[in-house]
Amino acid sequence: MVIIEEVADALKKKGINVIVKAKVEGISGVVHEVDLLILNGKQYAFVLLNDCDYKNFIKQFVKTIDLYKTKGYLLIKSNCAEKLFETIKPESTIVYSNKKDLLSKILSLIELE
């Protein structure tokens, strides 16, 4: 979880409104806790995959899909992604190698919109 807090601090320094451990209601009516919520014109929710197994991946991935008012993304460390994905990776996943890489990918994502 440290990486989320470090990325949140870096985003705040850039003037971006972020919330760590935010609650977001899904289309199902379930209120999900997301690791990072960015409010930058649009809402972006990020869920960190901490446990690299298929069962946890599916649970967290479904959570990101349920976030209909928010663009939901699953954050997966590159060594975990190598175990989970052989040939394809879901579009709403962000594979990162380190904090700098993750910050860069999040910034690119929210600045393009």
Domain for residue 57, yes or no? Answer: yes
For β-strands 93-96 and 71-77, DSSP reports them as parallel
Q: How many domains does the chain have?
A: 1
33: tokens are 């806790």
Its pTM surpasses 0.85 = yes
How would you write the pLDDT of the chain (113 residues) with one tens digit per residue? Answer: 589 999 999 999 999 999 999 999 999 999 999 999 999 888 999 999 988 888 999 899 999 999 877 889 999 999 998 888 876 678 889 999 999 999 999 999 887 55
Domain for residue 112, yes or no? Answer: no
Domain for residue 89, yes or no? Answer: yes
**Which residue range is the domain that position 93 belongs to?**
2-107
Domain for residue 19, yes or no? Answer: yes
Residue that has been written with the tokens 């985003």 in this structure: 11
Which CATH number goes with the domain that contains 45?
3.40.1350.10
Nearest alpha-carbon partner for 81 in 96, 64, 71: 96
Domain for residue 113, yes or no? Answer: no
